[in-house]
Amino acid sequence: MKTRLTLILVLLIYIGAASHTHAQQKKVIKTMMIAGQDGSHYWQGACEAMKQILENSGMFKVDFAFTPDFGGDIATFKPDFHQYDLIVINYGGATWTEPVRKNFEKYVADGGGVVVIHSSVVPMADWKEYNEIIGMGAWDGRNEKDGPYLYWKDGQYVYDYSPGYAGYHGLQHETVIEHRAPIILSCKDCLLNGNTSRTRYIPAYAVR
C-alpha cells in the first residue's frame, strides 16, 4: 500500500511538472525581427545579438525578416505580420510597399506588439501611420510639423513646439537622466489617436 501511494505521488509530481512545462512553452512570444537596410549601423551583428538575448531568456522565439539591400526591389519584402505576437523593427531603409504598410497597420490595430530599435525612428517619414505608431520620428526631412519636442522635467511633460529640424547628434557630455516608472500604451490607441509626439534623448540623440 505504501509503495502504491509513493508511485501515485511520483506520478502526480510528474504530471504537475509536465503541465508546468507545457504552460511555459505556451508563453513563448513568437517574434519577427525586421532588418536589411541601414546605412549607419551594423544591423547584422545587432540582430544576432538581440536574437540571442531574447531567446536565451526562454520567453521568445525570434525569426528574421530581411528586406533586400539598398537598391533592391522592396516589393519582394512581404512579411506575414499576423503570424507573430511581436514585431521588432531594426531597420533604416526604403519605405515598404502599400500592401505591406496596410498589413502592418492592421496588425497594430488588432493589438500586435511592436518594438522600435534605435535608428528605426529615422526611415519612412512619408508613411503617416508609421510615424503615429512609433511616436518619435526623427531625421529624414521631419521637422516641428511632425510634432513637438517632448521633455520630462520636474515631474511633468514639457512640450516644445519651436521650429527646427527633427533630430541631431548632440555633443557628448555627462548628464543626469531622470526616469520614472514606464506607462504601457496600447499600440491601437497610438494608431487611432494620432500620437505623433517627438522625443529628445540626451546625450546621444535629440529627436522630434
What's the mean pLDDT in 62-85?
Answer: 96
Highest mean pLDDT among 3-7, 75-79, 189-193: 75-79
Burial of 88 (0-12, 13-18, 19+ CB in 10 A): buried
pLDDT digits (tens, 9 = 90+) for 136-193: 788 888 888 887 887 888 889 898 888 988 877 777 888 777 766 555 444 444 333 3
Beta bridge partners of 31: 62, 86
Can you list the domains of the chain with their CATH numbers? 28-120 (3.40.50.2300), 134-208 (no CATH)
**Closest to 168 (Cα-Cα) out of 117, 123, 208:** 208
Instruction: For residues 43-70, give the mean pLDDT.
Output: 94
Residue owning grid cell 539591400: 69
pLDDT recorded at residue 169: 74
d(CA 89, CA 159): 27
**Nearest Cα residue to 119 out of 202, 207, 28:** 207
Distance of CA 98 to the CA centre of its chain: 20
> With contact defined as beta carbons under 8 Å apart, do 151 and 158 qualify?
yes
In this prediction, residue 26 carries a pLDDT of 60
Which of the pair, 111 or 18, is modelled with greater confidence? Answer: 111
Mean pLDDT (whole number) for 2-23 = 48
| Cα 157–Cα 160–Cα 162 angle in degrees, nearest 5 | 180
The pTM of this model reads 0.68
Q: Which has the closest alpha carbon to 133: 191, 93, 182?
A: 191
Helices (H) and strands (E) in the chain, counts: 5, 6
Query: What's the pLDDT at 176?
Result: 79
Choose between 172 and 61: higher pLDDT.
Answer: 61
pLDDT at residue number 30 = 96
State the CB neighbour count (10 A cutoff) for residue 19: 10
* Consecutive H or E run containing 4: helix 2-26
State the pLDDT at residue 208: 43
**Angstrom distance (rounded) from CA 58 to CA 21:** 12
